């Protein structure tokens, strides 16, 4: 048998009822792939053919049967001549072929219903966060009344993991941000001969805004996600259910130490990030503008009032509380499956960063006259 005899091909011939498609050769996946371009090019001419004869095919596999069924538009042709094995294969393909999904156009009612579902979910999250905040307040009262029963060991561990282990990355990012800002500022200030004002601009922007926000975003991605993952894994492994059975308050043992650790650590990490950014700016000011580190350090307290530092420390503590509560909130809402754990961790990071930016904007509006 020659190669031409095995090549899958279609012969069109005229019969009394119209045009008939006669299939020849070996219709297998390997040979169809080799002649795929020719087969695809012949599809437009075969669209109107209603008489098919498959009996001269040497061999046909399921790939060819699926190709024919798709070519027929998932419907049997008006006339089909096929061997019993070929017809059985086509019937099997027809039975298990999934039709393409219908194009669905969203109506105004469906759009309104989706908005309602989104609003309901938002209210549900808000109520859950409010309950978590109220339970945290009650747990704080319990801690003050019974300090010996407090989760101090957990608190110290979280302070180390959230704060001490975050110092290298926050210092590196802060230093590089300070270098970039100072370099860009030096280019513009040198144009107007206002080199010395780099201390004012860099100091105020880093201490008042950039340092706390940058530290909060880094900890939201680093520690906020870790909090959600830790509590979520406890949900998946049913440890939280075991705590409930043993009578252990999950808020007192899980939420309280993480929230206190984040509130305590966040201002310190923010100050650490500010210092790193200012050091980076000071290096660039010395290299690019000739302003010595001594002048930079002596001019900084005069350019930036100490109220800006206290404002940064205060809002950093609020950032820490927000990140901790969001992380615990999404961790406690994780369902006992790995998909929910991943979705909860992602939602926790996105929500934390969004709320940090919103809270920072609120602080900027409320304290717009402080330290300026």
Q: What would the pLDDT profile of 261-319 be if each residue is shown by its tens digit?
A: 999 999 999 999 999 999 988 888 888 777 888 888 888 888 888 888 889 999 999 99
**Average pLDDT of every residue of the chain:** 85
Cα–Cα distance, 302 to 306 (Å, whole number): 9
Q: Are 362 and 368 in contact (CB under 8 A)?
A: no
Find the mean pLDDT for residues 226-235: 87
pLDDT for position 100: 66
pLDDT for position 123: 86
* Residue 34 pLDDT class (50, 70, 90 cuts): confident
CATH top-level class of 3-96: alpha beta
Q: Would you list the domain boundaries of the chain?
A: 3-96, 135-366
> Computed over its alpha carbons, how large is the radius of gyration of the chain?
35
Please provide the DSSP assignment of 10-21 as one string: EEEEEETTEEEE
Q: Are 330 and 347 in contact (CB under 8 A)?
A: yes
pLDDT for position 95: 85
Look at the alpha carbons of 214, 172, 310, 224 in this order and tell me if their dihedral is positive or negative. Answer: positive
Find the mean pLDDT for residues 250-270: 89
- pTM as predicted: 0.68
For the chain, give the percent of residues with pLDDT over 90: 17
Q: What would the pLDDT profile of 163-215 be if each residue is shown by its tens digit?
A: 888 899 999 999 999 888 888 888 777 777 777 878 888 888 888 888 899 99
Residue 79 pairs in a beta bridge with 51
Nearest to 209 by CA among 315, 62, 290: 315
Find the mean pLDDT for residues 37-58: 81
Work out whether strand 18-27 and strand 51-53 pair parallel, antiparallel, or are unpaired.
Answer: parallel
pLDDT for position 1: 54
Q: Give 280 or 35, the one with higher predicted confidence.
A: 280
For the chain, give the percent of residues with pLDDT over 70: 96
Q: What would the pLDDT profile of 63-107 be if each residue is shown by its tens digit?
A: 888 888 888 888 888 888 888 888 888 888 888 877 666 656 667
Residue 10 has pLDDT above 70, yes or no: yes
pLDDT for position 2: 65
Any idea which of 40-44, 116-120, 208-212 has the lowest mean pLDDT? Answer: 40-44
Nearest to 250 by CA among 126, 317, 333, 146: 333
Q: Which two tokens stand for residue 336?
A: 């006992």
Q: Which two tokens stand for residue 225?
A: 């996600």
Q: Which two tokens stand for residue 101?
A: 């999904």
């Amino acid at each position: 048998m020659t190669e031409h005899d095995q090549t899958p091909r279609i012969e069109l011939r005229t019969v009394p009822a119209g045009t008939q498609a006669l299939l020849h050769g070996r219709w297998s996946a390997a040979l169809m792939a080799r002649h795929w371009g020719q087969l695809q090019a012949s599809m437009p001419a075969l669209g109107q053919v209603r008489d098919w004869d498959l009996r001269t095919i040497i061999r046909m596999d399921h790939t060819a049967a699926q190709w024919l069924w798709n070519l027929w538009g998932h419907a049997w042709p008006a006339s089909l001549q096929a061997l019993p094995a070929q017809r059985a294969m086509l019937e099997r393909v027809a039975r298990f072929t999934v039709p393409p999904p219908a194009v669905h156009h969203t109506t105004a009612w469906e759009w309104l219903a989706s908005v309602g579902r989104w609003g309901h979910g938002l209210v549900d999250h808000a109520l859950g966060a409010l309950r978590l905040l109220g339970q945290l307040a009650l747990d704080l009262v319990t801690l003050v009344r019974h300090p010996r029963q407090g989760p101090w060991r957990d608190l110290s561990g979280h302070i180390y993991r959230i704060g001490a282990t975050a110092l290298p990355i926050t210092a590196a990012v802060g230093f590089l941000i300070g270098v970039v800002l100072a370099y860009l500022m030096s280019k513009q200030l040198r144009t107007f001969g206002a080199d010395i004002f780099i201390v004012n601009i860099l100091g105020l922007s880093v201490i008042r805004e950039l340092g706390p926000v940058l530290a909060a975003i880094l900890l939201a991605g680093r520690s906020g996600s870790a909090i959600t993952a830790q509590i979520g894994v406890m949900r998946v492994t049913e440890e939280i259910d075991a705590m409930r059975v043993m009578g252990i308050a999950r808020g007192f043992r899980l939420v309280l130490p993480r929230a206190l650790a984040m509130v305590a650590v966040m201002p310190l990490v923010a100050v650490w990030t500010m210092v790193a950014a200012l050091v980076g700016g000071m290096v660039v000011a010395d290299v690019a503008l000739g302003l010595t580190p001594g002048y930079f350090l002596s001019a900084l307290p005069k350019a930036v009032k100490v109220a800006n530092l206290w404002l940064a420390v205060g809002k950093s503590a609020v950032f820490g509380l927000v990140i901790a509560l969001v992380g615990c909130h999404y961790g406690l809402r994780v369902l006992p499956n790995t998909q929910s754990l991943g979705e909860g961790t992602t939602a926790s990071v996105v929500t934390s960063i969004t709320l940090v930016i919103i809270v920072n904007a609120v602080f900027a509006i409320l304290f717009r006259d402080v330290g300026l």
